[in-house]
Amino acid sequence: MKLGATLAADGVSFGVYSETAEKIWVCFFDDADRETDRIALGRDGHVWSAQIAGLSAGARYGLRADGRYDPKQGYYFDPNKLLVDPYARRIDRQFVLHPELCLARPEAVDTALYVPKAIVPGRPDPVARPKDDARRPALIYELNVRAHTMRHPAVSPPLRGTLKALTTPEVIDHIVSLGVDVVELMPVAAWIDDRHLPALGLTNGWGYNPITYFAPDPRLAPNGPDDVRDMIAVYRRAGIRVVVDVVYNHTGESDILGPVISMKGLDARTYYRHVEVNGEMRLVNDAGTGNTLQCDHPVVQALVIDSLRHWVTEFGVAGFRFDLATVLGRTAEGYRHDAEMLSLIRNDDVLKSCLLIAEPWDPGPGGYHVGGFGDPFFEWNDRYRDDVRQFWRGDHYMLGALATRLAGSADKLDHDGRKPSASVNFLAAHDGFTLADLVAFADKHNEANGENNRDGHGANYSWNCGIEGATRDPAVLEARNRDVRALLATLFVSHGSPMITAGDEIGRSQGGNNNAYAQDNNLTHLDWDAADLDLSAFVSDLAALRRGHPAFRSDKFLSGKMGEKFKDVMWLTPDGAELGPGDWGIPDASVLGMFLHEAGEILLVWFNRLFEECVVTLPSEHGLTFDIVLASSGGARLDERSSQAVLPARSVVILGCVSG
């Protein structure tokens, strides 16, 4: 029996899973939101179902369930609560968090007025898609639909904040100009606000609080699935794959006090992980949001696989980024890379041809597993982010860490046949400081979130170039611009798969807020009128540089292996000598040369974090001579007579071998 609502020859069949319910009904509503019919489902094992003749696509419905009510034991049954079908393909409006959704059963009122209704789907044709979507990304572009389009001058005002806005030619042209081949959309599936936000007058603009895994959020897709399909098709034609961020670690039903709106009211003990504490069955909070999906239960596994396949076959997405992906591999014994949930994803006939990206950690016990997911997963690499930040901030003993990240993060990934491309290298993401704020704020400033600046990461490895926050001081502004360019240049010459977050290429700031999930306003909405076009052009140049030089895109870990004439990589001191054991341990070493002999070419990249120019000696054996290909700051120059180069302060200089 298929779960959800499915068109049949003479009507619609409904299937719902619950091990602990005593009664389940499907309820139908007219266009005025009045309940017009309530039909009891029959039970066969743990599946409740009914075949309803005469019903057609477009019918609006919800579920109700009755049974034991004892939240401290994991039972939330209350027939007054209208529940959204976990398999709903479309809903008629966005979720809004009303207090009535959280009321205990003895206090309960009928919540049908406050709950979106599911819509019986039609039979759309499957979307044709290439079979090579799993190929290595050239440049990933993480994008929030609302933030990206709400203030874009080329987007028609009625479309702003929607997926359709992303199809505006000027929006696509900008993304294409950056060399992006993968757009990673932050969550598109329908979500609800966190429980504490309405009282603060805030809303969740990120979407990491889902209720339905199949249905797109009506804020982003007011025309439902068609909006998703159309947007993805437009990007396909532009040569861009679309990946969606999915949240299978928790739902917006939160903890014992949270809303009862879907799975919690159908069978909380099946869908959510519980642990016995002093005789109570408490919701596990490995995701840090009040509940955790029980991904080692077959019905949850089916929900995950079915919804992933739905986004691929019905919408045409190229892949997924799994938020807090460690939860998918959690078992009673803790995280396992070969857990059944992860194995099902890896081996699924549809999903194995998709681009799969894991955020390889969660805040639960033993939740950090960078490098621990195995093929075919790509993995966000926060060690790359932090080590590169610390080098440019000026922290001591960072040469070795920088070299490890530039060479592909072998310490995390060089096992089981994995390659550097599995490392998604990034400097900033939705979570944390923007790139501009990274060099403008030494501390986070999250007061607008209403939690007295307690929320958000404390270890940001950031700096402010002399003044905290906004300033008109031209020297400070120039220093910040210089540092951003050096950081970006570092990213694009590193082995791995680079990712930038939309807006960082135009200098976006969030005023030092490093946890802006609840700021669906001008703090996060990109100000395109103030875009730094020079910085955007620089990112385009870096992407073109990477495309044009196979040595930067080589998918082999750099290890110093000797070739016919040269090692695949040599790490150089400012005097042009190869670093020895003692050189790596110099606390304040601030200049590093990376001599690459890969993919049939020779490149030399210098990193200078000093606050003054540095003269370096170029390797000249075998008659090598070099020319400047790109520099992150002006003033780089060569003295061919002395085989030396002058590196500007706080810069990355890339040299190409022209003879030898």
Catalytic residues: 323, 359
Rounded to whole angstroms, the Cα distance separating 377 from 322 reads: 10
Provide the angle, in degrees to the nearest 10, between the axes of the packed helices 474-492 and 382-393.
140
Cα distance from N-terminal residue to C-terminal residue, the chain: 69
Of 373, 429, 419, 382, residue with least CA distance to 401: 382
What is the number of alpha carbons within 13 Å of residue 650 lying toward its C-beta? Answer: 17
Residue with tokens 């606000």: 193
- The vertex-490 CA angle with 394 and 384, nearest 5°, equals 75
Question: Which 3 state secondary structure label does DSSP give 51?
Answer: strand
Q: Which tokens belong to 451?
A: 């939690």
The continuous run of DSSP H or E covering 173 comes out as helix 169-177
Contacts of 553 (CB under 8 A, 6+ apart): 138, 546, 547, 599
What phi and psi values does residue 275 have, to the nearest 5 degrees?
-140, 140
Contact 171, 154 (CB under 8 A): yes
The continuous run of DSSP H or E covering 530 comes out as none
Contacts of 283 (CB under 8 A, 6+ apart): 74, 255, 256, 268, 272, 273, 274, 290, 291, 292
Rounded to whole angstroms, the Cα distance separating 414 from 556 reads: 10
Rounded to whole angstroms, the Cα distance separating 397 from 317 reads: 43
Residue with tokens 């309940």: 35
Question: Which 3 state secondary structure label does DSSP give 437?
Answer: helix
**Backbone Cα Rg of the chain:** 27
Rounded to whole angstroms, the Cα distance separating 334 from 214 reads: 28
- The vertex-273 CA angle with 270 and 274, nearest 5°, equals 100
